[in-house]
Amino acid sequence: EDQVTQSPEALRLQEGESSSLNCSYTVSGLRGLFWYRQDPGKGPEFLFTLYSAGEEKEKERLKATLTKKESFLHITAPKPEDSATYLCAVLAHSGGSNYKLTFGKGTLLTVNP
């Protein structure tokens, strides 16, 4: 069964203190890895898609990287508005011609001013 594990479960940073979130996965037939941001009471907001090991994508203070077993979301000089839950999801083969998105439980990031 596909597994996606995110760590840490919660992370508290000071404004400007850079760090990384981890997403490790065990799936067969990975087709893509997604990062989402979710604010309280809202639906997940799409951030990045990574397709193959070695790929990197950046958006403002966020940078996502992918290896064959894990992905990292690097946050450089975070601001309080970056506080949210960050979700990782993998799209993998689920039988026949179907694919399924499996989510990790997320990392709750809090950035203090």
Residues near other proteins, by CB under 8 A? 31-32, 34, 36, 41-46, 49, 51, 87, 89, 91, 94, 97-106
The smaller minimum CB distance to other proteins, of residues 14 and 97, is found at: 97
Residue with tokens 């490790």: 24
**Least Cβ distance, residue 12 to other proteins (angstroms):** 18
The smaller minimum CB distance to other proteins, of residues 44 and 78, is found at: 44
The smaller minimum CB distance to other proteins, of residues 64 and 91, is found at: 91
**Least Cβ distance, residue 101 to other proteins (angstroms):** 6
**Least Cβ distance, residue 18 to other proteins (angstroms):** 26
The smaller minimum CB distance to other proteins, of residues 56 and 99, is found at: 99
**Least Cβ distance, residue 40 to other proteins (angstroms):** 10
**What's the chain look like in SS3?**
CCEEEEECCEEEEECCCCEEEEEEEECCCEEEEEEEEECCCCCCEEEEEECCCCCEEEECCEEEEECCCEEEEEECCCCHHHCEEEEEEEEEEEECCEEEEEECCCEEEEEEC
Answer whether 78's CB lies under 8 Å from 21's CB.
no
